[in-house]
Amino acid sequence: MDLKKVIEKKDSAAQFMIDEITHICTKFEKRGPGSKGEQQACEYMAEQLKELGCETTYVDEFKENPGSFFGWIYFTITCCFLALASYFFAPVLSIVFIVLGLTLCVLQFGLYKKTVDKFFKEKIGHNAAGFKKPTGEVKRRIIFNGHPDAAWEWPFKYMFTYLGFDIHMMVCFLGAFYTIGIAIANVAGAIPQELVTKLGLIGLVFVPFWFGLYFMWNRNKIVDGANDNLSGCYIGIAILKALKDEGIELENTEIGVVLTGSEEAGLRGAKAWCEAHAHEFNDVPTFVYSYDTITQPEFMQANYRDLNATVKVDKDVSDLYVEACEELGIKCGKGVVPPLGGATDSAAFAQAGMRSTGITALNHALPDFYHTRLDTPDALDKGCLADCFAASVKVLEMFDNGAKQ
């Protein structure tokens, strides 16, 4: 199938995306993980998918504890305070507290495990999906994915920009390692007795930085999330609209759009969708493209590792996007979601055994709008949306013609 006519519609497709994103941001409630706004967005987009020809559409519910994703901070920082206090009278206990605090950090934030979830309020999250059948036998399937929820604001990042935010985080980690370092040295008898107290008092310099982490996220303020991540949601929807407008039906390729909620709470929606549905898609080659924050064209890339670089995704799926960009003369790198860079929903699909990749267009030295009130429709980049749309249509064309199968 030749989809050149669809690719040429990239500017009008980008404008459609901007209009729809603006509508959701201005007309619906805020879309925090497990919120009414997330549900409204899922229901709205599911209806759009039905109107665009998807024979199967649905909105799923799942249980989650979204407050836990950053809630680990309360446990970890409290452990740091207890570690510094216990250093003066029980340095072994100090070591235990730091190890416990850092372990919670790694499990809950580094690996997105449900370590402290039960300590936080249970909510109901939502996913939406639609699938359009080809005219003939299904021989392959492509799924376009994005997350409709929006993030809690990071006040320190908004006030001090990424540099200030980054410095604050590094000082906090330095304080934790300093505390465990002097505690180990104290237990080992490597510190002269006259320096034991002085070194502990030096550790007090980290106290205000640790205390500040209690306020790293504002759980009462949800940002608009125009870029992160309604931009990713509307790539697939725009493709279905463009195909319908051109009267194009594929013969053997099924197209799916899966919108997974509560990504900002640790990929909870994508994990729930995979648990419920991944087994349904083992019948034919299925590629999943997860889009997240499509806004900075100079940083567009296919990510070959995800979830803080701990999860390997599918090389062929990633390569196909890069090759599609090369065909169209669109700049696209080969990258990873780095340590402390978080994740895209691609990680959840990969962990469930599905062939996936994450597509991002975001500087990982995070821009000012990221997770702040500045992530409004005004911050969208029409050119970047257009290029990502064109590249994704080219991926569909190449996949439909048998690439990487």
Question: Interior CA angle at 227 toward 29 and 324, to 5°?
Answer: 135
Q: What is the pTM of this model?
A: 0.95
DSSP category for residue 284: S
Using one digit for the tens of pLDDT, what is the confidence trace for 24-80?
999 999 999 999 999 999 999 999 999 999 999 999 999 999 999 999 999 999 999
Q: At what angle do helices 155-187 and 91-105 cross, to 10 degrees?
A: 140
Using one digit for the tens of pLDDT, what is the confidence trace for 331-383?
999 999 999 899 999 999 999 999 999 999 999 888 999 999 999 999 999 99
Percent share of the chain, pLDDT over 70: 100
The gap between the terminal CA atoms of the chain, to the nearest Å, is 16
Q: Provide the 3-class DSSP secondary structure of residue 256.
A: strand
Instruction: Work out whether strand 300-303 and strand 333-335 pair parallel, antiparallel, or are unpaired.
Output: parallel
Using one digit for the tens of pLDDT, what is the confidence trace for 131-176?
999 999 999 999 999 999 999 999 999 999 988 999 999 999 999 9
256 pLDDT higher than 90: yes
What's the pLDDT score for residue 162?
87
What's the pLDDT score for residue 364?
85
Nearest partner of 294 among 146, 150, 161, judged by Cα: 146
Is 4-65+122-154+221-400 a CATH 3.40.630.10 domain? Answer: yes
DSSP category for residue 212: H
Contact at 8 Å (CB) between 252 and 142? no
What's the pLDDT score for residue 182?
97
Tokens of 353: 């055994």
Nearest partner of 134 among 250, 284, 51, 54, judged by Cα: 250
List the alpha helices (DSSP H) in 338-381.
346-351
Using one digit for the tens of pLDDT, what is the confidence trace for 89-104?
999 999 999 999 999 9
Return phi, psi of residue 291, to 5°: -100, 135
| pLDDT, mean over the chain | 97
Domain ranges of the chain: 4-65+122-154+221-400, 70-115+157-213
What's the pLDDT score for residue 365?
84
